[in-house]
A and B are shown apart, each in its own frame.
Chain A
Amino acid sequence: MVLAEPLAAQSVGQGSFGRAGHGDFQRLSFTGSGSEYFGIWIVNILLTIVTLGIYSAWAKVRRNRYFYGNTVLLGRGFEYHARGGQILIGRIIVFAYLVLYNVLLTFAPFAGIALVLLFLCFVPWLVARGLRFSARVTSYRNVRFDFVGRAGGAFLAFIVGPFLAAVTLGILAPLASRWTYRYIGSNLRYGQRAFSTEPSVGVIYKSWGISAAIIVLGLLIVGFIAFLNIALFATAIESPDLLPADMQMSLVTLMVLGYILFFAIFGVAALVYRAGVRNVAWSATTFDGKHRLLSDLSRLRYTWIAISNVVVTLLTLGLMRPWAAVRMARYVNEHTGVRFEGNVGEIFSAIAQEGSAVGAEFMDIEGFDFGF
């Protein structure tokens, strides 16, 4: 690596910064706490309600600043720079569009369908803009991220990919995942230096196989339970009058259980898949051509955390949500890392952004946010 400007030792920084040796992965950590986030969270919700939703934009800023700021790599946190006003404008535009869309769909269904098609053409552009906004309002060590992806790539990654995955009942999902990760991962920049992601479809398919097996096995179990109760269902369909009240109750219970089981199967499969793909894609990512990224989430542990988080959140009527969010952030961060080639201090001393990422074309209107 050719340093643009060799720097004196004092600029190398402090603390954990010098620890990185060759071949070691520097892991991220999460330094936030559930109790601290609880206060931010409840005040966010309360003020959002009191201000009839207007505060939600500032709430998002505070939430993101908390999570980014506590995401720590080499002793330094990330920063989130978006302002509430920017996000509010984006939200107002999206909201106005949704109102217009719903009104049209209700009063003139055919015009509504035309609007859906129009929107589908518009979505890739919006997604690319939204990703760029998200990247540009994120910084690490005073240098901003950037995103240079275009609408065409977004069309492939977010329209064609999911469509293909859906019509093939998930069989082509790994292909869609590859497009999505490649689009995001290879268009991301940090101080003009590029990330590059080339996840192999074959490896994603290995991970996908586990999810597919979960779905097949789960559906077999549901089918088996239904088969065991086939007499009950047959009676229910042919002569419902013959069913005594308690049998009717058990029929309803069975149906509700089946419904929950069905969602559990697909939920688990999706979570397992998500963790697996993240591992594959992140581990196939390099920064500046040589520094490697790493993700080593345990599929089982990730799924367990996600599901137990939802259960705990529901059982406590939402009150444990901050704890759950922090728990997930901590787990994901601790299983994400970077291996720097060379002296970390020198690497970072050399990274600077050319001019300001927040240029004239950085409009407030770009505050569209999509929950990726």
Chain B
Amino acid sequence: MASDNSAFAHGEWHPPGSSRSVTSGLAEAGERLVASDETGAELAGGSLSAIEISARVGRIPRRVTFPDGSLFETDDNDAIDRFLSRKGRSGAGLVHWLERFHPRLIAFVAATILLGALIYRYALPALVEVAIAVTPPIVPQIMSASTLETMDRTLLGETKLDEARRGRIVDGFRRIAALSAAGEAAYTLNFREGGPMGPNAFALPDGTLIVTDELVELAGNDTEMIVGVLAHEIGHVEHKHSLRQIYRAAGVAALIMLIAGDIGSGAEDVLVEGGGLLALSYSRAAEAEADRHSVELMMKAGRDPTAIARFFELLETKLDDHSDTSIFSTHPGTPERRKAILELIAELRKG
């Protein structure tokens, strides 16, 4: 038992690649580290630089791997730490020191929450703006072209509106597009039969606008109303809402993925759902912004800014859409939007 006197840690030794185990002690022998059995016979040894000692994690046993592939395992983490400190290496390591159950962990919790909130509040929006700034114009063009192609193949049909009616709408649209920040050339208007989409108008990020026959029918002879709706869609393009939404969703997903490994799958699902709800609130804000844009553009053009409010009124009466805003909807509630628009007009007229 000669070597046992100098052994600073006790544990089990395994020959290379074998599950056989031998009761063993770990001792320093000059510049070498040696594992020996109960009789003091050397089982394995090597210079400290050639030996791998696993980092400390909680109370799990430390592994000391010798150059020959054999392994010494011990529960005595403190002894290993003391040995490493003596040798001028960091004993338990900084990470383990941080991880120990200690009042400072309260500060870590606070820092984690604060950093998470800061990233969500400032870093994410900033990253989205950067991403939008570096996105070349070709990207929204390709995106829009392929979206329109997909929709034409699957949902939309050719317009059945007569030329004269389209002409009146295009005329109103051109005048209003000319007053927008990007100018008339930035926008093209397309007519399509909506099919399953029903009365609808939407904008693709490159400035392609689509209005469905059903919407034109719904508006009847009120061309002004359609122009108001198109001004709203121009607002979406001008504020780059669709790109912004894509980047935002990607950013939120990346944030969740980043910490997901440590939060558990049940909580992760809840976070993903919560992220979805937040995205919807963002989408509602975008609709309100586009509504405002419509009002401003129509006023600038000297046209009737309440036209889009009339459209919402029409939705309420003809389509019986009285939906309230809820956290589950992409658009603000129709009556609410109408009210907000009328209030904005009153405000702008005063000022």
Contact = CB atoms under 8 A, between A and B. Distances in A.
Contacts of A37: 58
A50 interface: yes
Contacts of B258: 48-49, 53, 56
Contacts of A10: 22-23, 37-38
B60 A70 contact: yes
Interface string A306-317: 100110011000
Interface string A102-146: 100011111000000000000000000000000000001111000
Interface in B89-112: 95, 98-102, 105, 108-109, 111-112
A348 B19 contact: yes
Given A65-B57, A66-B60, A107-B142, A321 B19 contact: no
Of B37, B100, B147, B264, most buried by chain A (CB within 10 Å of CB) is B264
A142 B101 contact: no
Contacts of A325: 264
A36 interface: yes
Contacts, number: 167
The dominant DSSP class at the A interface is helix
Nearest to A5: B20
Contacts of A69: 57-58, 60-61
B322 interface: yes
Contact of B19 (A49, A143, A306, A318): A143
Interface string A335-372: 00000000000001101111110000000000000010
B19 A40 contact: no
Given A66-B57, A310-B266, A110 B150 contact: yes
Given A241-B322, A313-B266, A141 B21 contact: yes
A319 interface: yes
Contacts of B142: 107-108
A14 B23 CA distance: 8
Nearest to A354: B17
Contact of A43 (B17, B99, B143): B99
A63 B58 contact: no
A191 B16 CA distance: 12
Nearest to A349: B20
B102 A50 contact: no
A77 B254 CA distance: 34
Contacts of B265: 371
B132 interface: no
B261 A60 contact: yes
A63 B262 contact: yes
A66 B116 CA distance: 25
Interface string A13-51: 110000000000000000110011111111111111110
Interface residues of A, number: 70
A49 B14 contact: no
A11 B57 contact: no
Nearest to A63: B262
Contact of A351 (B19, B116, B263): B19
Nearest to A49: B115
A40 B58 contact: yes
A56 B261 contact: yes
B347 to A, nearest CB: 27
A209 interface: no
Given A109-B146, A313-B264, A39 B20 contact: no
A252 B15 CA distance: 67
B256 to A, nearest CB: 11
Contact of A32 (B22, B58, B98, B320): B58
Nearest to A57: B261
B21 A11 contact: yes
Interface in B277-332: 320, 322, 324, 326
Of A31, A32, A36, A140, most buried by chain B (CB within 10 Å of CB) is A36
A151 B57 CA distance: 35
A32 B119 CA distance: 32
A314 B263 CA distance: 10
A150 interface: no
A59 interface: yes
Contacts of B326: 252
A39 B101 contact: yes
A110 to B, nearest CB: 7
Given A65-B60, A70-B60, A42 B19 contact: no
Interface string B58-86: 11110100000101010000000000000
A248 interface: yes
Nearest to A191: B19
Contacts of B69: 356
A62 interface: yes
Nearest to A248: B324
Interface in B143-193: 143, 146-147, 150
Contacts of A44: 262
Interface in B247-282: 250, 254, 258-259, 261-267, 270
B18 A324 contact: no
B14 A314 contact: no
Given A10-B23, A65-B60, A142 B99 contact: no
A167 to B, nearest CB: 22
B246 interface: yes
B138 to A, nearest CB: 10
A321 B63 CA distance: 28
B12 interface: yes
B21 A66 contact: no
B273 to A, nearest CB: 9
A37 B63 CA distance: 20
Interface in B205-259: 246, 250, 254, 258-259
B12 A45 contact: no
A152 interface: no
Given A35-B101, A43-B108, A314-B270, A142 B58 contact: no
Contacts of A300: none
B348 interface: no
A40 B57 contact: yes
B266 A306 contact: yes
Q: What 4 A-B pairs have minimum CB-CB distances, sorted nearest first?
A: A69-B60, A310-B266, A142-B14, A141-B19
Given A109-B147, A352-B17, 20 more contacts: A10-B38, A39-B98, A39-B101, A42-B105, A42-B109, A43-B98, A48-B262, A53-B258, A65-B54, A68-B60, A77-B61, A108-B142, A110-B150, A142-B17, A143-B17, A240-B320, A310-B264, A314-B270, A353-B17, A353-B18
6 contacts: A13-B21, A56-B261, A69-B60, A77-B60, A142-B14, A321-B262
